[in-house]
Amino acid sequence: MYTSTPPLLGNWGGWAVILFLIPLYYARFHWDEVVKLREAFNKTVDLLSNTIDAKDSHTFLHSERVTAIAAALARAYGLDAAQVNTIEKGSRIHDIGKIGIPDAVLFKPGSLTEEEYNVIKKHPEYGVRLLEPASDYLSETFDIIKYHHERWDGRGYPEGLAGQEIPLWARIVGLADAYEAMTAGRPYQKAKSPEDALSEIEDLAGIQFDPKLVRLFREIWETNPSWRDREVFLRLYSSKVPSLESSSPPFLEPEPETSQKSS
């Protein structure tokens, strides 16, 4: 611009350069702000996820493992990077509504009464309501939060959607959530081995879960050991998150794919 003959913009010379640099500077400044905002937002999602997991020490890192499984399933399904990213975000906070469930119900040892179970069943809708003020940033995750407990046969909650009516992202997270819960166990229910949990998932294909997703789940279960075994996942994940190490099992080398240990 400065040296071209004839000079760009008549005889403005150096002033022309400044004229072009000002908008470039502001564009760059604005982009930096967008990146910072996005980073702050991602950290907020992490914080929400840690809050949910911290509330229930029995299911330590539950949301993180659900996220790892759901992302693997989404990739195997052929979803693009943007959709996988949304599924990861939604998985991390899928149970955020549990913050609104009284501890006496959420952590009750033993089986729940029908009334108590009805209270638990409100957590998907509580979650969406809780995040409504951040809908500009999070609305794409709302389907995951609201519908992750729907069942393929229509006997889930909150709306009793069936089959393809259930948003795909929610079907993916629902399956990942169920496998993680089976292998984590509960105070009233012993954790299942990865093999037993897989077998139960397959038994429920077409009943609770999307049969196509169950087929994909088996394929990635056989080839991806990083989340298949809960203890292996906790060791691997804890080694990457220094702030959580103190409350995590000590790090051991990743186990080979042939690990048969139950959770």
Catalytic residue numbers read 98
Contact 160, 146 (CB under 8 A): no
Binding mask 59-98 for Fe ion (x = CB under 5 A): ------------------------------------x---
Nearest partner of 200 among 227, 173, 181, 182, judged by Cα: 182
Cβ–Cβ < 8 Å for 154, 162: yes
Q: Which is nearer to Fe ion, 174 or 194 (CB)?
A: 174
Q: Which is nearer to Fe ion, 72 or 176 (CB)?
A: 176
HEC assignment per residue over 13-30: CHHHHHHHHHHHHHHHHH
Residue with Cβ nearer Fe ion (88 or 95):
95
Q: Which is nearer to Fe ion, 53 or 95 (CB)?
A: 95
Residue 263 half-sphere exposure toward CB, CA atoms < 13 A: 30
Per-residue contact flags (x/-) with Fe ion for residues 8 to 47, judged by CB under 5 A: ----------------------------------------
What's the min distance (Å) between Cβ of 222 and Fe ion?
Answer: 27
> CA dihedral defined by 251, 257, 258, 262, rounded to 10 degrees?
50
DSSP symbol at 104: H
196-202 CB contacts, 8 Å cutoff, 24+ apart: 196/262, 201/175
Give the three-class secondary structure for 205.
Answer: strand
Minimum CB distance to Fe ion smaller for 95 or for 143: 95
Query: Cβ 181 to Fe ion, closest distance in Å?
Result: 9
For the bound state, the minimum distance from the C-beta of residue 129 to Fe ion, rounded and expressed in Å, comes to: 15
Q: Which residue is nearest to Fe ion (CB)?
A: 95
Minimum CB distance to Fe ion, residue 102 (Å): 16
Number of residues that bind Fe ion (CB under 5 A): 1
Interface with Fe ion, residue 150, by CB under 5 A: no
Q: Tally the C-alpha atoms within 13 A of residue 242's C-alpha that lie toward its C-beta.
A: 0
Residues that bind Fe ion (CB under 5 A): 95
